[in-house]
A and B are shown apart, each in its own frame.
Chain A
Amino acid sequence: MLTAPTSLGIIFFPAYDWAISPTHPEREERLLYTQDQFREEGLFDIDGINEYRPLRAEDTDILRAHFCFPTIEAVCTESHRISAGGAIRAAQLVLKGETQRAFALVRPPGHHAMKVVHGNRGFCNINIEAVMVEWIRAHSGIRRIAIVDTDCHHGDGTQDVYWHDPDVLFISLHQDGRTLYPGSGFLHENGGPKAAGRTINIPLPPQTADTGYLKVVEEAVLPILEAFKPEMVINSAGQDNHYSDPITNMHFSAQGYARLNELLKPDIAVLEGGYSIKSALPYVNLGICLAMAGCDYSAVREPDYAPSRLRETPDTLAYIDELCGQVRDAYFHPEMPPAKKEGHFFVRERRVYYDTDNIIEKQREKLKDCNNCQGYRLIQTESSSILPCLGVELFHDSCPVCESEAHAAFTDKHGNSLVAQLMDHKNRDYRYRNQN
């Protein structure tokens, strides 16, 4: 029988009783065939590969990562708590050394959920990677983390959560935003003014296949990871780059996904999208699991896999070649447009659209530019469905001045916010203040 050279914990939670709606891609059936494949392969009979159940994310776990308005309950159901809890369990396995690596094969996904949450965007409510990363930081000395988002859609939510964080390197590989939801993730999106080059976007042309994708990984992603020297690597593992995925246009295969994880060697992988539930997921998931466990995956392929029909054109490969150089520059020589400033604050104003829930959010973010610490930030947000709310985030290294300013903003009774939420990483204080 097989033995895994690298022990792997798999948190398999298909949420067989939850769907966004009966025919939505994010429905009960999504991981059914993956489970059939796992069972028939005897994946959990492999010495060193074990199955674990998810934990449930508690309020504090969510409030470490998100501003949820007006309340957690309003934007987050049990399914989201358990999905995030699956990611937390994966982190716990690795931190405690129960397994060397872990894969949270859970749903619903989370990488389109941003720092502020008013509802569901791109099938996501809670950013399960972000909840997990903040859980890791709260439960260990680890701060420096790399998240590589290999979902076919731009991980705009995760990018937003870590936009200002110089200790999180976020790299997203995705189908070019000019051709796919959410329409973002361009090279120039390169991190906030205090975290230049810590957000890296790799927009790939449609029909990119194994050769092109793995080229980018080897020639751009790996050198950047090597330079950043993270304490932990997380794969935000979407499976919708697959050639059979119904909602994207890429040509990646199960072999490609397995090789990707062999190269990336993530400590933790967290499932994101992927909606070719019969033709791709059973094989892609198996390939990822075997590769993460260091097992032979050479016989894992889709029944209809025909690499000759999936190859990139020479033009596409040439484009990707050039892209690799631009991506490396984005990390090693970030060129940032000047940020808008009001006094000591960097200011961003924008609108965010929640497609699933049809909500439009209006946001104004102020980041304190402090010479002694990472500062603090204030996010004023209102949406088509609720009155203005305030999020106050105080970073772990805040200086006393920033600390008192942030607390003053949070307790200010004269503000016009309906709800204020404090995210004080320094004192590990996460709570709401209701105005009336």
Chain B
Amino acid sequence: MQSTQNSKHGMRIGIDIGGTHSDGVLIDGTRLVAAAKARTRHDDLLASINLLLTHLLAGQNANWVQCINLSSTLTTNAIITGLVAPVGVLVSGGPGIAVENYRIGSQFHHIPGSLSHVGEETSPIDMDALDAALATCQADGINHFAVIGKFSPRNPEHELQMAEPARPTAQVLCCGHQLSGRLNLGRRINSTYFNAAVWDIARSFAAALKDSLHAFGLQHAEMNILKADGGTLPLARALEAPVQSILSGPAASVMGVLATMPLQEDVVLLDIGGTTTDIALFAGGQPLLEREGIAIAGRPTLVRALRVASIGIGGDSYIHVEADGVHCGPERLGPCMAAGGDAPALMDAFNVLGRAKFGDVALSEKGMATLAAQQGIDAKELAQSALSAAATAIETALRGLIDEVNSKPVYTIHEILEERRIEPRQLVLIGGPAEVFQPLLQEKTDMETLCPQLASVTNAIGAALCRSTSALVLHADTSRGWLYAPTLEVSKRIDRNFTLEDAVTEAKDLLKTDMAEAGIKLADADMQVTQADSFNMVERGYTMGKNIRVSVQVKPAVLGSTKPSSAVEVVHAK
């Protein structure tokens, strides 16, 4: 375990700013000490945080708080609403899919110049084109730049060459190779663009937040930002890579479940809300990650994320009848009728069948009866059909996700013959309507369904107990005598006898050193090797050397298990 994150008397604060509610908890060791909830003020996130902190710290000694982990919608909302800084995007492409296909932002410039897939220059950067692009950006008043080269994880040289003349006028300048060591030009362009675009927003928020923490006497506490992969980044690091903080909400909830109930098996987690249901998978108790990265605003990125599928089924899913039968969702027209809505929704169907007693049951019955009469059927029959449509939609989605994970491509004969399939037998339901859905999904899925009595602040508990995660990609070529780890900008000479084992050791050391610089001590067991391949490079029948690829990660995990005690009351802060 990461010892600095687990000091004996350290108290931890976890805050999750959600779409409607913001939750906060104070945890001592693994004991829940205080919990609070507040409405999220999207125009003033800091006010929501301050409100939570006021309640959490009432009667507590702020000096004992060792760290604060924050999951917020700050960068996500900025990107989705488009309220971000204008960015000049400079891209060098090369043979392949035309660069124009990746256009993003109002100032997108293709700069001729290319590297091959092994990182060798095949044509130099066109400096005249670069100057012209920068002049256009300057005329447009642009001082934020995203610089991306094709195959820059193999060789950053072209990105550095393009960045150089932009530096004098740049307030913000992000290079693709610093964000991820993985190949994917389109995703690297999107990630780097978003990183530059939300840079200022993240900084000014952090500055205000720091003042605020000071006022609470929390200036000595470490501040960490939650990521979509269920891990945290120290604030200083998060400000260098603000894009890493997007879409962390579902991760807080997944990690919260992991922190409050023991999960060792293959498990499906369903987080059922009003509008949507989020589906996550655990393999042997470990949450699964996206293969490439998460998408935001319809754009795929290289930002690591837990794999969460979302479908449009929730308590407020609208019930409607089409020629082919009764449908439920994916639209939500408003709250269900039992809660004062205008159209019958899924929760009304539960009410009519006596499976729930939510809100004003009479209103549900009235609404469902009206819709049923229009179709010439019985209200109970309509309700039953709606429930079964919802259950089918959920079941189809979760089977689809399991199939997708089990059919993920593999590249060796060994993996095909020795594959471990995910076969969940347990379904964990959380979220507002979870209990109501339990019997329905139990019948439908044939899985053991659990409906744990989780605190309503589980997300914040997850945020509080997350640890730092990181990943590193290393590439070595013994024929060229060269080793390169792009995100850390480490490159060094190696000799011909450099082996795969050497590369794994090197990658772990680099990751460990880098985390130590951020104040996090890693044990070997915290690191997981996700790729370790070595290929003989043969030319004209002779072995020229080895091409080695290693990826190491610190996987998402929680620091301990918290039993939410009924003695701790959740304060609704106003």
Contacts and interface: CB of A to CB of B under 8 A. Distances in A.
Contact of B412 (A16, A290, A301, A305): A16
A299 B95 contact: yes
B96 A40 contact: yes
Given A23-B542, A33-B118, A41-B185, A53 B536 contact: no
B186 A1 contact: yes
A79 B97 contact: no
Nearest to B417: A78
A224 B45 CA distance: 69
Contacts of B97: 2, 41-43, 286, 290, 295-296, 299-300
A27 B536 contact: yes
A158 B292 CA distance: 39
Nearest to B150: A40
Interface residues of B, number: 47
Contacts of A298: 98
A343 interface: no
Contact of B96 (A27, A33, A37, A246): A37
Interface stretch (A7-15, A58-66, A174-182, A425-433): A7-15
19 contacts: A2-B97, A12-B409, A16-B535, A17-B413, A18-B413, A23-B543, A28-B535, A29-B535, A32-B547, A35-B411, A40-B183, A40-B185, A41-B97, A53-B408, A53-B409, A78-B416, A278-B117, A296-B101, A300-B95
B168 interface: no
Given A78-B413, A78-B417, A299-B97, 11 more contacts: A15-B413, A22-B543, A29-B547, A33-B117, A33-B118, A41-B96, A53-B407, A54-B416, A283-B95, A302-B95, A303-B94
Nearest to A51: B409
B567 interface: no
Nearest to B538: A23
Contacts of B416: 53-54, 56, 78, 82
B535 A23 contact: no
A240 to B, nearest CB: 16
B410 A53 contact: yes
B528 interface: no
A14 B410 CA distance: 9
A70 B122 CA distance: 51
A228 interface: no
B540 interface: yes
Please name the 4 residue pairs, one residue from A and one from B, whose CB atoms are nearest each other, closest first.
A303-B122, A39-B183, A42-B186, A299-B98
A282 interface: yes
Nearest to B102: A1
Given A52-B407, A78-B413, A79-B413, A29 B537 contact: yes
From A16, A18, A56, A301, name the one whose CB has the most chain B CB atoms within 10 angstroms: A16
Contacts of B144: none
Interface in B256-302: 292, 298-300
B540 A246 contact: yes
Given A39-B183, A296-B98, A300-B96, A278 B118 contact: yes
Nearest to A24: B538
From A2, A15, A40, name the one whose CB has the most chain B CB atoms within 10 angstroms: A40
A106 to B, nearest CB: 11
A41 B94 CA distance: 10
Given A37-B96, A39-B184, A45 B300 contact: yes
A393 B95 CA distance: 49
Contacts of A301: 95
A192 B536 CA distance: 44
A36 interface: yes
Nearest to B189: A42
B42 to A, nearest CB: 29
B96 A303 contact: no
B318 interface: no
Interface string B380-410: 0000000000000000000000000001111
A16 B409 contact: no
Interface in A53-103: 53-54, 56, 78-79, 82
A13 B150 CA distance: 24
Contacts of A282: 117
Given A33-B118, A45-B187, A40 B410 contact: no
B414 interface: yes
A125 to B, nearest CB: 14
Interface residues of A, number: 50
Given A39-B184, A45-B186, A303 B95 contact: yes
A139 to B, nearest CB: 19
A42 B94 CA distance: 14
Contacts of A12: 409, 411
Contacts of A295: 97
Contacts of B409: 12-13, 51-53
Contacts of B185: 40-42
Contacts of A17: 412-414
Interface string A298-324: 111111110000000000000000000
B413 A82 contact: yes
A40 B151 contact: yes
A78 B101 CA distance: 40
Contact of B184 (A15, A33, A42): A42
Nearest to A254: B95
Nearest to A37: B117
A301 B95 CA distance: 5
A226 B168 CA distance: 63
A1 B96 contact: no
A305 B542 CA distance: 25
Contacts of B413: 15, 17-18, 78-79, 82
From B151, B183, B299, B413, name the one whose CB has the most chain A CB atoms within 10 angstroms: B413
B536 A28 contact: yes
B541 A23 contact: yes
Contacts of A51: 409
Interface in A378-409: none
Contacts of A39: 182-184
A13 to B, nearest CB: 7
Contacts of B101: 1-2, 296
B232 interface: no
From B97, B114, B414, B417, name the one whose CB has the most chain A CB atoms within 10 angstroms: B97
A54 B542 CA distance: 31
A144 B249 CA distance: 54
Contact of B411 (A14, A23, A304): A14
A13 B95 contact: no
From B98, B299, B407, name the one whose CB has the most chain A CB atoms within 10 angstroms: B98
Nearest to B414: A17
Interface string B533-569: 1011110111100010000000000000000000000
Contact of B536 (A22, A254, A278): A22
From B99, B116, B547, name the one whose CB has the most chain A CB atoms within 10 angstroms: B116
B513 interface: no
Interface in B517-543: 533, 535-538, 540-543
B406 to A, nearest CB: 10
B150 A23 contact: no
A282 B96 CA distance: 9
B123 interface: yes
Interface in A204-257: 246, 254
Contacts of B540: 246
A16 B102 CA distance: 31
A283 B96 CA distance: 7
Contacts of A1: 101-102, 186, 298-300
Contacts of B538: 22-23, 27, 29
From B183, B185, B533, name the one whose CB has the most chain A CB atoms within 10 angstroms: B183
From B117, B186, B407, B416, name the one whose CB has the most chain A CB atoms within 10 angstroms: B117
B53 to A, nearest CB: 41
A82 B99 CA distance: 35
A13 B411 contact: yes
Contact of B116 (A82, A286, A299, A303): A303
Nearest to A296: B98
Contacts of A23: 536, 538, 541-543
